[in-house]
Amino acid sequence: MKRYVNFFNTGILGLLLLPSYASALNVGTDWTNTDKNLNTTGSITGNDITATGKITPSAEGVIYNQGDAHAVDTTIENKLSTQLRSVSDYSSLVTALTDISTTETDLFCVGEITIPDGVTATVLSTITWIPRRNCLVKGVAGGGTEILAINGPIIASPGFRWIGSNLTLSGTPDIEAAWPDWYTVNTTPGTTNMTTALQTIVNWVPSKVHLDDAVYSYTSLTLPQYTIINGVRQGLSELKSTYAGNTLTLSNDVTLNNLTLNGASKVAGSVGIYGDGKHRFRLNGVEIKSFEKAISATGGIFWRIDDSNIHDNVDGLKVVSSTVGFNNNTIDRTKFVSNTGKGIWLEYGGSEISTNRLSGSNVEDNATGVYLLGAYNTVIDATFFEGQTENHIETGDSGAIYTTGLAIDNSRLNTMDAGKGVLLNGSTQDVSVNGGFLKDHDWINNSLYTVYISNTEEVGSGMVYDVGKFIRSNTSQTWGKSTSLTSNNYERITLETGNSQDRYYTVTTSDATETTIGTFGLTDEKSYWIDASILGKNDDNSGQVYCHIGGVFYRDGGGVATRLGNNVSLIVPPAITDPANTPADADALRDDLVTNTIPSIEVPYVIESVAGTGCNLDVSGNNVRARGTGIAATPMTWFVRFNVIEL
């Protein structure tokens, strides 16, 4: 049957029965149990019993008072069920554990207990450890290592200390939660240094760490694999550090829930959470504020950040992938607000950054909302951008390192305080916007590649182009200001249907060298009718050239762009007039037509005011090109409009 055992530091060793059964033994005179075991099958009568060990009732035959001092009840277990328990007091934890052995026991810790130098006290899984409020188990300073190994259940309140100094904890306790307060009382929350207490509990039972609704001051912690730290709620349970370094260092499989990380004053070099290429990190309902970097990492895979608030730092999340890739990570329903640098910063540092997603989140009042350099296949979905002072979204450019595959879906890019809504630099490729709302900011496309905008409402926005281009479909535009050109080459495309497009390009030339004015790329296994209107003029408008040319082009089986037949001049021919006079005969009629009429209906490609100027359509690689030849040593501006049918 189960026992209840106390151990004290009083030096008392003996046996006590529960008070309600004290009359169970009739004590005789001067009876001493020298072998520490008293098995009763009948009655014991005496005035005094002295025991130096424990007294163990037998399974039956224990005498207790029924009104008859000598009555024996042979079915006491049935009579009293589980109410009869022996209570033993020990002055040594090691003695108690040795004596109890594998007996199912509730072990109460009362008072201060010291484990001898170099000794391991092992609490077996059959023992339930119950520290009382004044319990304190400690080791011996210096010498060997004292270990308390608990492998059974623990029943302990969070708010009092029972783990002392110079003690190593081990074992696999059966508990739902462990508190750092067990090691150090958080006397003055926010001031009392809880570093050792936090690290001790995290090392002992990493997956069961709980925080009260208090501020825990610490310096820095290393979180082992499978750490789970649970707070009450962000703003109530707080970890506060002013350390100018990594305050929480991750291992794989770390989870933080419902708490606040506070760096206090954005100390230079301070990092709230640091991950050196660690995987499967979870952040749920966590507030991170007042660090130089809220989260910093050199890589990581399968991260998930949910329902969190990362605000008032210098940078929110900064990843430079120098150790491993930063791939397949998700941020959902999270705020990046009022960070003086970048809200999210993902930069290629030698390992791939790929397939990351920001969804259902708010990015507001940072300098730059999202910065991407060398990132692949990034999705920004159902996210609200507002009030950045530089750019809502920016892609960096560093030589051969560029961003490709950026999808902005169902998101609202709202009014800017200053700066630009979207800034695409360098060789940024494959950018698409679908189902969005763009308001009161400029897009700048400095990339060589096309931005695809569909099912999107643009209000008060201006598109600024360098060498980049835009394709729009099912997109409404309410311009508050006109589109501006920042260089000599731009493209604006409107898809009227799925098979028809208009494209516009402009360039300048300075001499009579033939120059490409605009390029249209062909898709393999597609056929095109391309109608090109080309106009060029010099600065003082004394020289002009105009062409209107059409042609059929296609690509087949992976081949290059091919023209079907010849180009066709689309300049409207003059009306055919009657012969100049009445011919006398058929021969005279023939001569008159050849001389006066036929030359006037030949349709030229070019109408020019300066001899030698001209324009044409040709093919190069997979492209159809509009080409123009200007005036020698004379600046000219050219414009071309492609009207395209694609099938």
Q: Is residue 387's pLDDT more than 80?
A: yes
- 51 vs 194, higher pLDDT: 194
- Distance, CA of 293 to CA of 302 (rounded, Å): 21
Q: Is residue 141's pLDDT more than 50?
A: yes
Tokens (6 digits) for 197? 């207490």
- 444 vs 376, higher pLDDT: 376
Range scoring the smallest mean pLDDT among 77-86, 406-415, 549-558, 601-610: 77-86
Measured from the Cβ of residue 293, the count of other Cβ atoms closer than 10 Å reads 26
Q: How confident is the model at residue 606 (pLDDT cuts 50, 70, 90)?
A: confident
Matching residue, tokens 């940078």: 315
Q: Is 201 exposed, middle or buried (0-12, 13-18, 19+ CB in 10 A)?
A: buried
Tokens (6 digits) for 140? 């011996």
* Average pLDDT over every residue of 94-102: 88
Estimate to the nearest angstrom the gap between the alpha carbon of 516 and the chain centroid: 45
Dmax (CA) of the chain: 169
| Residue pair 350/322 in contact by the 8 Å Cβ criterion | yes
- The per-residue pLDDT for range 470-514, each reduced to its tens digit, is 666 666 655 333 343 333 333 444 444 456 777 777 788 999 999
Q: Which amino acid is at 606?
A: V
| Residue pair 267/244 in contact by the 8 Å Cβ criterion | yes
- Distance, CA of 210 to CA of 484 (rounded, Å): 57
Please tell me the total number of residues recorded for the chain in this structure. 647
Range scoring the smallest mean pLDDT among 203-207, 403-407, 464-468, 574-578: 574-578
* pLDDT score of 594: 59
% of residues, the chain, pLDDT over 70: 74
Q: Which amino acid is at 528?
A: Y
Q: Is 592 exposed, middle or buried (0-12, 13-18, 19+ CB in 10 A)?
A: middle
* pLDDT score of 503: 74
pTM of the model as a whole: 0.69
- The per-residue pLDDT for range 302-353, each reduced to its tens digit, is 999 999 999 999 999 999 999 899 999 999 999 999 999 999 999 999 999 9
Q: Which of 208, 181, 207, 211 is nearest to 196 (CA)?
A: 181
- The per-residue pLDDT for range 245-299, each reduced to its tens digit, is 999 999 999 999 999 999 988 999 999 999 999 999 999 999 999 999 999 999 9
- The per-residue pLDDT for range 55-77, each reduced to its tens digit, is 444 444 333 333 444 444 444 43
Q: How confident is the model at residue 134 (pLDDT cuts 50, 70, 90)?
A: confident
Q: Is residue 152's pLDDT more than 80?
A: yes
Q: What is the 3-state secondary structure (H, E, C) of 140-186?
A: CCCCCCCEEEECCEECCCCCCCCECCCCEEECCCECCCECHHHCCCC
- Distance, CA of 151 to CA of 171 (rounded, Å): 5
For residue 589, give the 3-state DSSP assignment. helix
| Residue pair 140/166 in contact by the 8 Å Cβ criterion | yes
Close Cβ partners of 232 (under 8 Å, ≥ 6 residues apart): 211, 212, 213, 258, 259
* pLDDT score of 83: 31
- The per-residue pLDDT for range 164-178, each reduced to its tens digit, is 999 999 999 999 999
* Average pLDDT over every residue of 91-103: 87
Q: How confident is the model at residue 595 (pLDDT cuts 50, 70, 90)?
A: low
Matching residue, tokens 């040709």: 618
Q: Per-domain residue ranges for the chain?
A: 19-84, 509-646
Highest mean pLDDT: which range of 37-46, 121-130, 216-225, 400-409: 216-225
Look over the chain and give the mean of its residue pLDDT values, rounded to a whole number.
80
* pLDDT score of 70: 41
- Distance, CA of 52 to CA of 57 (rounded, Å): 16
List beta partners, residue 28.
46, 47
